[in-house]
Amino acid sequence: MNIAVRYYSRGGNTKKIAEAIAEAVGVEAKTVSEPLKEDVDILFLGSAPYAFDVDDEVKKFIGSIDVSVGKVVNFSTSAAVKSTRKYVEKLLEEKRIPVAKEEFSFRGALGMLHKGRPNENDQKAAAEFARGIIS
């Protein structure tokens, strides 16, 4: 099974979760600035909501996908909004790339809000989630 992990992170919260997922599935977490170069069965894609959308870098990455992707597993971090799924799913629909029903979202720190998150337990939960997806 060919698996990739891509993420966009401004403050480092999504990066921590991406790295936990990547380690659990045995691949390297890379930022969305690195395009997919080969077909993948599962793409774990991480982002956070900014102004009720995803960052333009995530949009650019999705728009640049020109390989076969079996499915995308969304994961997201946010201090307030629950998930980026609806934003990512809309972009992937245009590319005819399916989004898995399963997703991982959690609270990330923003100033004093959710201070200390993601923590070690969040990272362990992300790793367990990822292992469950590939098993």
Examine the pLDDT at 99 and tell me if it is beyond 70.
yes
Paired with 54 in beta bridges are: 49
* pLDDT tens-place string over residues 80-97: 557 888 899 999 999 999
Question: Taking the model in full, what pTM does it have?
Answer: 0.89
What's the rounded Cα separation, in Å, for the pair 130 and 112?
A: 29
- The token duo for 94 is 């245009």
pLDDT band at 106 (very low <50, low <70, confident <90, very high): confident
- Within 8 A by CB and 6+ apart from 68, the residues are 39, 40
pLDDT at 4: 98
- Integer CA distances (angstroms), 126 to 2, 19, 28, in order: 19, 9, 15
pLDDT at 81: 58
pLDDT band at 2 (very low <50, low <70, confident <90, very high): very high
**CATH classification code of 3-134:** 3.40.50.360
CB-based contact 64:35 (threshold 8 Å): yes
pLDDT at 133: 96
What's the rounded Cα separation, in Å, for the pair 63 and 54?
A: 13
Task: Provide the residue ranges of all domains of the chain, joining segments of one domain with +.
Answer: 3-134
- Integer CA distances (angstroms), 68 to 2, 100, 101, 124, 126, in order: 11, 15, 19, 29, 25
* pLDDT tens-place string over residues 45-80: 999 887 778 999 999 999 999 999 999 999 988 655
pLDDT band at 127 (very low <50, low <70, confident <90, very high): very high
